[in-house]
Each structure stands twice: as structure tokens, then as C-alpha cells.
A and B are shown apart, each in its own frame.
Chain A
């Protein structure tokens, strides 16, 4: 059974993402509200995928990507959620090791398809 970590400070959105991914039977979805909580989860548990927002309290999505790639040396696929119009940040996220990005606002089906593609890769 796959395990996905979803990090975003927007409770309504992560709750919807969790609902969508559970409905599509992608596995267990763990939701966290900030970067610190996400790091804690990543230290103690293994995940098959990480979906993270860029702007979060304590640690940003970019810091989380760096943490996973450099500190943990983990190759877990990471999808970055970003607001429209911050192309530079998205480029930086790719340079740091993110695998994909989705710009907000997005369609739940688009997210589902990207998750499916990365999980099957």
C-alpha cells in the first residue's frame, strides 16, 4: 500500500486532496499543515510521494525539497504546488530536486493524473 504525504497550510485544500487521492485508491494519505511537521513525519516514516505547497509556516516547500534530497538523501517523488506567476520559484524547486509542479488553481483530476504518473514511474 502506497503512502503519500500532503503538506499545505490550507486545511480545506489538503482535506480535499486527501479525499480525492483516497477515493482513487492511491493508498494512505497523511496530511500536515506546516514544514516542521512535514520534516518530523519524513524523519520517522517512509513515504512513496510528497505533495507540498511552496509557502508554508516554519519551513517553505523549497526547504522541504532540500531537506529530502540533501539531508535525508531520499529520492521520493515530490510534487510542488505553487501560485500562478512565480516561475522563478518553480525553476528553483526543479533545480533543488522536485519532480513535478502544479500551479494553483488546479483541477483535482490533473493532480490525480500527475500522482498516478509519478507513482507508476
Chain B
């Protein structure tokens, strides 16, 4: 009886051995790849299933909430699915929160209310609050945003503490969150604010103020002695916009403030309120101030509230003497409305300007 080794030795040549080896190894590689693909497909399906379940459950809740009586069972079932999924892993709970917030942002009425209820009932606010304890500022910001978006008035106290956080962006996010969570007092963050007020905050506060009834609008003059110049400027502007005439006296004092931005804002506010009792003070400021921006604002303000007969000779002199183009331009514009000589003066200044422009145009080397 032939042994295996004798068969092997007798019947296999070198080339056959190589072919056998390559066939075997390539078979193994193909098997490995197929197995790997199957495993990853299985993993993906395992991972996708809960995500799809979350998407479907939230869609069911959001879309059917307006007809909650008709679809009560379906909504309840969807909520149960969400509860089971969120308990499985923190990652899935975060996926639910992200999706829920996206829908809550875009939907109104019963849908928004039901989504908020889901957030509360599934205790997802705990996940958001945990982020506030994190050392990473970006995570803290995410937590604050989530609580603010889901209108968690119960957690205002946990958020307020971040007004003094070391990171500027966290402080900003906290203020924005508080403005949206406490709409009846949009100035709440201004009281002890040290950071400069951003344009975004200004718009947010103004939008909230517009929604208040006239009795609810706060007296902005209470903030005129604030330590933060941006807050003072904003409150002067708001006092003028909400026609708080009782603030005129304080505004008149503020026009002489050493900070040019405050001075400018006060003059601008007096112009908006057409406070003609402040005209003499503004004239005084016009003579004293060195800031061009404030001077221009003073001239525009005087043009609106000042006595034209008294101011005309002064302005005529000023046009002749002044060297700054911005001031001269404003003076001329104002003056043209007062008398004929003003119109003549304006056309003269315009002609001068034009001739200079023409000279520079023709002296351009490219033209010649």
C-alpha cells in the first residue's frame, strides 16, 4: 500500500506544488475578505437598527402629535421604543437628544410640546446636565445649548453659575441661554456683565424687548452708570428706541462722557428723541470734542433739534474754517437745507472736491 508521502514524492512536481500553494493561499485570502465583509455588515446592521428605530419613533411622535387623541397608542409605543433605546447606551441617548432638538427647533404647537415632554419623561435633561460638569468647554456649551433649546426653566440655576466661567464662549452661551429662558427679563445678564456686549446678544435682547408690553419694558436709565461701556451704549440706544423721555436729563449728562462711544450714543439718542432742550449742551460738546465721529453726530443732531437762525452763522464760519472733509461735508449738507447761501456753499465744496478728483484723474500716468 502506497503511503501518502510516496504518492506526494512521486506524483507532485515543483510546479504543481507552487500552483497548489498559490491556489490555497488565494482561497484563504478570498475567504478572509468575505468573512470580514460579513462581520462588518452584521456590525453595521446592529448599529443602524437602533438609529432607524430612533428616527422612526421621533418622526411618529412629531408628525402625529397634532392628532394625539387619534394616534395615542402609536405615540405611546414610539415613546416606549425610545426609552428602551436610550437606556442601552449613552451614545444612543445623545443621538435621541440631537434628533429631538433638531425637530423641536423646526416645529411649533403640540408637536413641539410633545417633543419637550419626551425629553423630560425620558430624563434626557440628565444627559445634558452631565455635560455641564465636564472639563471641556465645548461640551459645557453643548449642554447649555441643549437645556436652553428644550426650555428647561427648572435648570436655570445650574446654568446661571456659568456666567463667571473662565472661558469667554461659555459665558456668552450662558447669557444667550438665559435671555431665551427668561424672556420677561431680557436684561438679566447685563446687571453684572463684564464682557463686551456682542451684536448677537444685542439683537436677541431687542427681539425679546419688542415682545414685551409697554408696562413691562424696563427703565434703561438704571444702567447708565454701569461699569461696562458697551452696556451703557446699548441701554442709551434702547431708551431712545422705546421713547423713554424721562432719560433725557441723564443722556444730556452722558454726552460729556470721556468715552467717545458713549458720548456719540448719547448725542444720537437725543437726536432720535428730538430733545431740543439739549441743543445748547450739544453745541458746547461740538466746540469741545476732538472726536470727528462725535462732531459729525453733533452737527446732525443740531440740524434736527437746534435753532436754525442762531446756528446758521456759526455753521457758515465753521465751513470756512474746518479742515476735516467729513465734518465739512456734514456741515454743508445741513446748511443747504437752511438758506440759499448754504446751497451755494455746498455746490462750491462739491465742485472743489470734483476738481480735485478730475486733476488726480487726468494726472494719472495710465491716461497719458
| Cβ contact within 8 Å between B107 and A108 | yes
Residues of A within 8 A of B62 (CB): 16, 108
| Cβ contact within 8 Å between B109 and A16 | no
Binary A-proximity of B62-104 (CB < 8 A = 1, otherwise 0): 1111110000000000000000000000000000000100110
Binary A-proximity of B35-77 (CB < 8 A = 1, otherwise 0): 0000000000000000000011011101111110000000000
Tell me the nearest residue of chain A to B59, going by C-beta. Answer: A19
* A106 and B64 contact, Cβ closer than 8 Å, known pairs A12-B99, A12-B102, A19-B59: no
Binary B-proximity of A17-34 (CB < 8 A = 1, otherwise 0): 001100100000000000
Residues of B within 8 A of A23 (CB): 63-64
Tell me the nearest residue of chain A to B55, going by C-beta. Answer: A15
Tell me the nearest residue of chain A to B103, going by C-beta. Answer: A12
B275 → A minimal CB distance (Å): 31
The complex places the Cα of A109 from the Cα of B71 at a distance, in Å, of: 14
B101 → A minimal CB distance (Å): 9
* A12 and B66 contact, Cβ closer than 8 Å, known pairs A105-B112, A107-B107, A108-B107: no
Residue B105 interfacial (CB < 8 Å): yes
Size bracket of the B interface: 20 to 34
Q: Is the interface of B mostly helix, strand, loop or mixed?
A: helix
The complex places the Cα of A12 from the Cα of B59 at a distance, in Å, of: 8
A110 → B minimal CB distance (Å): 8
Residue B312 interfacial (CB < 8 Å): no
Residue A72 interfacial (CB < 8 Å): no
Partner of B109, one of A11, A104, A107: A107
Residues of B within 8 A of A107 (CB): 66, 107-111
The complex places the Cα of A109 from the Cα of B56 at a distance, in Å, of: 18
Partner of A20, one of B63, B102, B110: B63
The complex places the Cα of A108 from the Cα of B104 at a distance, in Å, of: 12
Closest 9 CB pairs of A and B: A12-B102, A19-B59, A105-B108, A20-B63, A109-B66, A107-B109, A16-B59, A13-B106, A108-B63
* Beyond known contacts A104-B105, A106-B108, A108-B111: 15 more, CB 8 A cutoff: A10-B102, A11-B102, A12-B103, A15-B55, A15-B59, A16-B59, A16-B62, A20-B63, A23-B64, A106-B106, A107-B107, A107-B109, A107-B110, A107-B111, A108-B62
16 pairs, CB–CB < 8 Å, chain A vs chain B? A11-B102, A12-B103, A13-B102, A15-B59, A16-B58, A16-B62, A19-B60, A104-B105, A104-B106, A105-B107, A107-B66, A108-B62, A108-B65, A108-B66, A108-B107, A108-B111
Q: Which residues of B contact A (CB under 8 A)?
A: 55-56, 58-60, 62-67, 99, 102-103, 105-112
